[in-house]
Amino acid sequence: MRRLVALLVIALVGATLFGLSQNSSGLSVNGSSVSGSTFRSELAAITTNATLGCYISALNPTGFAPGAGGASINASGAAAWANLRVEGIAIDAYAAKTLKFHPDAATLAKAQTSLEGELNAASASQQTPCIGTSAQALSEMPSEMRNFEIASQAASLDLVAKLNTTVPLTTASMQEYYATHKTNYDTICVSVAVISPSQLTAFNQAQGQGMSVAALARKFSADASAKKGGTYGCFAPSNSSYSGVRSDTASTALNTFPTTPLSITYNNLPADLFVAPTSRTTTPFATAESAVLSDLENANASAANTEKQNILFYAAIAVDPAIGRWGIGTSGPTVFAPALPSSSAVDPTTITALSVGASTYK
C-alpha cells in the first residue's frame, strides 16, 4: 500500500522544476531532514526523464501544470511533492521507532516489486500507457530519491499489516470476510426506464397506482430495452459495472423502481434513469473474489489513512516557506502551496513575478 493509501501514491501535481531559491532549507520531520538541494534534484529528475515523468503523471494526471515564466513547475506541484516527502519521513520514523521495523534486503526487494506494480497499474489506467517500464522509471530517480521511495513503501506496507483495523489480503481472510458479507456480492439483475421530463409526472403516478416495472418500462421508457419490459441484464461482482449497479440498487426493493432517479443525458437531452433490481442471487466466492479484494483494499486504505493523519498530527514538521506551508486542511495535516498576495494588495505584475519563483529574482 503506497504511502498507506494507494490513491495517495506520489501526489505530484507539477510538470517541471519549481523556481526554489538555491538556499532553501528544505523539509524537516522529527529531526530528519531533506535539504533544499535534494528536493530540487528530485523535481528536476521528474522534469528531465520522460519515463519517470510519465509514470508520475499517470499517478495524478489531473494535476500536471507548468509554472509561470521562468518557473517550470507550479507552486502546487512543489508543495504536493513536499507533502509526499513529509508523509514518507514521518511514516518511516514511526515504523522504526514504534513498530521496531528495520527492513532487510529481502523486504526492500518486495517493497520495490510492490511499488513497481502500483506504477504499472497507474500507467495501464491511462488512455496511452507509458513507454518504458516502471523499473526504468525508478532507475531514472536519483539514488537517494529511489531509496526513499522503496523504504517508504516497505514502511507503509508494514504499518498497514500491523494495524488492528486492517484485514490481511490473503485468500483465507478474504473467504472469511466474504462468508459474513455474502449479500454485498449478490449477482444483481436489473430493469431500467429512461424517462423524459415531460413523462415524469405520468410515470410517477402510474407507479404509485401499482403498475409493474415491466409495464412502466414498456409504456414510458425511451430506452430500447422498453420492448423487453426494461430488462437490461445481470451483473456479477466480476463485472466492471458492478459497484455502480450495487450502489444504485442497494436501497431499492426487488421489482420496484426507486422514487429518486438518476439524472442523465439521453440522446443529447436531459432525462431521468430509474434502475430496478429484479433479482439478487448468491455469487460463489471464486466469482466475487476480485470485488472482495477491492472492498478490503479500500477499507484497509481508509484505516491506514486515519493512522497516517494521526502520525502527521503529532509529528514536529518544518517546511521552508519557499516550498509551502504546513497546516491543517479539510483532509488533515498537509503542505499548502506558498500563498501569494491578493491583487487588491499588490499589482498583477508583481504577483506574476512572484509566481515565477524566488530564484529568478535573486
- HEC sequence for 192-249: EEEECHHHHHHHHHHHHCCCCHHHHHHHHCCCHHHHHCCEEEEECCCCCCHHHHHHHH
The phi-psi region of residue 264 (left if phi > 0; otherwise alpha if psi is between -120 and 50; otherwise beta) is beta
pLDDT of residue 218: 95
| 130 grid coordinates | 507509458
Position 260 pLDDT exceeds 60: yes
Cell numbers standing for residue 77? 506541484
Please name the fold of domain 187-281.
Chitinase A; domain 3 (3.10.50)
- At 189, which amino acid appears? C
Entry pTM: 0.61
- Residues belonging to the chain: 362
Average pLDDT in the 190-210 region? 94
Confidence label for 58 from pLDDT (cuts 50, 70 and 90): confident
Arithmetic mean of pLDDT, 323-335? 78
How confident is the model at residue 7, as a pLDDT? 32
Quickly state the pLDDT bin for 63 (edges 50, 70, 90).
very low
What is the per-residue pLDDT for 65?
44
Q: What is the pLDDT of residue 5?
A: 38
The helix, strand and coil proportions of the chain, stated in percent and rounded to the nearest 5, come to 50, 15, 35
Q: How far apart are CA 144 and CA 130, in angstroms?
A: 24
pLDDT band at 217 (very low <50, low <70, confident <90, very high): very high
Contact in structure between 319 and 39 (CB atoms under 8 Å): no
Rounded to 5°, angle at Cα 348 from 347 and 352: 125
Chain position carrying cell 497507474: 122
At 107 the pLDDT is: 95
Residues of the chain with CATH 3.10.50.40: 187-281
The pLDDT, as a whole number, for residue 6 is 35
User: What pLDDT is stored for residue 196 in this prediction?
Assistant: 94
Mean pLDDT for 89-95 is 90
Mean pLDDT (whole number) for 99-108: 93
In the predicted model, is pLDDT for residue 137 greater than 50?
yes
pLDDT at 24 over 70: no
- At 304 the pLDDT is 82
